[in-house]
Amino acid sequence: MHAVMHMGWVPDDAGGYRGQMAVLVKPNGLFGKAYMAAIAPFRHLFVYPPLMRRIGQTWQADMPQDSPPAA
């Protein structure tokens, strides 16, 4: 299986920024496809949301309030 994760900050409608994440996965064979289908709910409910919250909290704690994120 091959995977790539991209995380970035994008402008939101309120004039701030929000985290956005994309995970691209290329499973190899039938077992890889079945495995990814089986763990998808777990990843989307229990892995990605806390991961993004934690990254956002760290970002906010380290960032001056009036500064936009670096490009």
What is the predicted pLDDT for the residue at 69? 61
Distance between CA atoms of 30 and 9, rounded to whole angstroms? 35
What is the predicted pLDDT for the residue at 48? 87
Interval 28-60: pLDDT, tens: 999 999 999 999 999 999 998 998 889 888 877
CA distances for 54 relative to 3, 18, 63, angstroms? 21, 13, 14
What mean pLDDT, rounded, does the chain reach? Answer: 85
pLDDT higher than threshold 60 for residue 71: no
Distance between CA atoms of 34 and 48, rounded to whole angstroms? 20
Amino acid 45 reads: L
